[in-house]
């Protein structure tokens, strides 16, 4: 409903400025609501001021999450939040129960606006060196919301490429991306608003550990492939900073300080892996999630040590969680390769470009090698479906459409299936 109404509104608002066809309007709004950042029109030059304001609102609603955003509106209207609604909200935030979920919701909204306001003020101070105060303020607010919501939309024609050599601006953007991608519950625990335990929960430890690991490994891999192996035309520091920024941005933010189309094939492979993993549960980002990747790594480690249980931080991870993680990865990978096959048949681009585009859409990232605007109407519609599916969540989608059979209390005899 939000995407449909936003599409009609964008089409009307931009009609007198620069008319958009229906598929481009639908694509742009879907990308904003699903906080993806893939664009078929240039946000800076092809959208009017009011259209950009609409994109900001849609990014904010999509970043908070539709359940979070509209529950907040219900509360502001004084409406009663039903128990079923609380369960849905709790599930969208990655919580186990409904206890304290409304109080947590209030903290989430306050924290979101506080971080975005602080980020906007920092960006405003830096952008004054480039723009007049009013223009600098507009760019600062837009990019603060876009970065925290991991949306990747930019009011600059070349995204953040012009600020590649400005470490202050890129550092602020990176911090906003990381804060938005960690997830609301870990952030709450980190600042001590909702939880007052002296020890961090195993869930949050896993989120922070995997996030740090991915940023470091992604940065080193990109630095190795882009500077040491392929290019030596920039300084070591600039290459390292570019690698660090893209390592952070590739896990669902979608900003770029370099031309993604000119990245080496190995570098593209690294970015694809980062886009597949994505952000954390209950965050503004997509992907299979850091916790899914973490559980699989822990399972591998336990198998190597021949342990019966998966242990992390002196806690056992249930088998049901591992089964869900494996199922999610299988569905995710099948979706990527099947969509790449279909899009490859329809579009005259290389498989690497197609695979990169599909992964970016499904992971709600927004990075592109530059082929998005040249796709056919059917190709754009396929990416629309992938962005929607990636933001809703593949497992959640299957839970919604699959028919749940009655529980059968039957125990079957084990059978041995050799593996490996």
- Say how far apart CA 365 and CA 250 lie, in whole Å: 7
- Say how far apart CA 367 and CA 161 lie, in whole Å: 13
Residue with tokens 């993993």: 277
Quote the pLDDT of residue 355: 96
For residue 278, what are its two tokens? 């994505």
Question: What does pLDDT average to in each consecutive run of 10 residues of the chain (420 residues)?
Answer: 93 92 95 92 93 95 79 72 71 66 81 94 95 95 95 92 94 95 84 62 91 95 85 83 94 90 92 94 86 94 90 90 91 94 94 95 92 94 93 67 59 77
Q: Name the nearest CA neighbour of 267 among 233, 232, 221, 235.
A: 221
Q: How many CB atoms lie within 10 A of CB 40?
A: 20
Domain boundaries of the chain, sorted by first residue: 2-399
Are 91 and 65 within 8 A, CB to CB?
Answer: no
- Say how far apart CA 37 and CA 65 lie, in whole Å: 16
Quote the pLDDT of residue 232: 67
For the CA atoms of the chain, what is the radius of gyration? 22
Are 336 and 365 within 8 A, CB to CB?
Answer: no
- Eight-state DSSP code of residue 312: E
Are 173 and 147 within 8 A, CB to CB?
Answer: yes
Are 36 and 287 within 8 A, CB to CB?
Answer: no
Are 54 and 12 within 8 A, CB to CB?
Answer: no
- Say how far apart CA 338 and CA 42 lie, in whole Å: 29
In the chain, the largest separation of any two C-alpha atoms, in whole Å, equals 74
Q: Name the nearest CA neighbour of 212 among 292, 301, 280.
A: 280
**The overall pTM is greater than 0.95:** no
Quote the pLDDT of residue 193: 55
Are 157 and 42 within 8 A, CB to CB?
Answer: yes
Residue 408 to residues 4, 84, 401: CA-CA distances in angstroms? 41, 25, 20
- Say how far apart CA 314 and CA 414 lie, in whole Å: 30
Using left for φ > 0, alpha for ψ between -120 and 50, and beta otherwise, residue 254 falls in left
Q: Name the nearest CA neighbour of 299 among 331, 278, 274, 329.
A: 329
- Say how far apart CA 34 and CA 14 lie, in whole Å: 20
String of DSSP letters for 289-315: -HHHHHHHHHHHHHHHTT-SSEEETTE
Burial class, 110, CB count within 10 angstroms (exposed 0-12 / middle 13-18 / buried 19+): exposed
Burial class, 304, CB count within 10 angstroms (exposed 0-12 / middle 13-18 / buried 19+): exposed
Quote the pLDDT of residue 215: 96
| CA 285, 286, 292, 294 torsion-angle sign | negative
């Amino acid at each position: 409903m939000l995407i449909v109404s936003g599409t009609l509104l964008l089409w009307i608002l931009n009609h007198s400025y620069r008319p958009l066809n229906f598929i481009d309007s639908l694509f742009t709004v879907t990308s904003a609501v699903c906080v993806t950042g893939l664009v078929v029109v240039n946000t800076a030059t092809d959208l009017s001021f009011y259209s950009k304001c609409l994109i900001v609102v849609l990014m904010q609603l999509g970043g908070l999450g539709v359940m979070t955003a509209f529950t907040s509106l219900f509360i502001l209207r004084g409406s009663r939040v039903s128990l079923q609604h609380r369960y849905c909200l709790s599930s969208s935030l990655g919580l186990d129960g409904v206890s304290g979920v409304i109080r947590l919701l209030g903290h989430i909204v306050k924290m979101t606006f506080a971080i975005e306001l602080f980020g906007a003020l920092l960006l405003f101070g830096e952008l004054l060196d480039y723009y007049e105060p009013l223009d600098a303020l507009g760019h600062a607010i837009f990019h603060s919301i876009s970065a925290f919501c991991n949306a990747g939309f930019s009011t600059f024609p070349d995204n953040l490429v012009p600020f590649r050599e400005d470490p202050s601006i890129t550092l602020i953007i990176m911090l906003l991306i990381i804060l938005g991608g960690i997830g609301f519950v870990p952030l709450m625990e980190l600042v001590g608003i909702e939880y007052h335990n002296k020890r961090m929960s195993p869930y949050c430890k896993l989120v922070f550990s995997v996030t740090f690991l991915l940023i470091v490994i992604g940065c080193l891999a990109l630095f190795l492939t882009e500077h040491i192996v392929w290019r030596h035309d920039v300084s070591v520091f600039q290459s390292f900073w570019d690698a660090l920024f893209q390592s952070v941005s590739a896990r669902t933010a979608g900003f770029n300080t370099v031309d993604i189309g000119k990245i080496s094939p190995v570098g593209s492979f690294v970015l694809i892996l980062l886009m597949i993993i994505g952000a954390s549960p209950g965050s503004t980002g997509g992907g299979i999630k850091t916790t899914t990747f973490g559980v699989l790594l822990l399972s591998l480690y336990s198998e190597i040590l021949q342990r019966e249980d998966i242990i992390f931080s002196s806690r056992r991870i249930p088998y049901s969680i591992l089964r869900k993680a494996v199922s999610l990865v299988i569905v995710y990978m099948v979706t990527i390769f099947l969509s790449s096959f279909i899009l490859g048949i329809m579009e005259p681009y290389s498989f690497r470009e197609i695979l990169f585009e599909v992964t970016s859409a499904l992971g709600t990232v927004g990075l592109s090698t530059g082929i998005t605007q040249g796709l056919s109407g059917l190709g754009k519609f396929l990416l629309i479906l992938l962005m929607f599916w990636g933001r809703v969540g593949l497992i959640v989608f299957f839970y919604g459409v699959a028919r749940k059979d009655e529980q059968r209390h039957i125990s079957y005899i084990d059978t041995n299936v050799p593996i490996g």
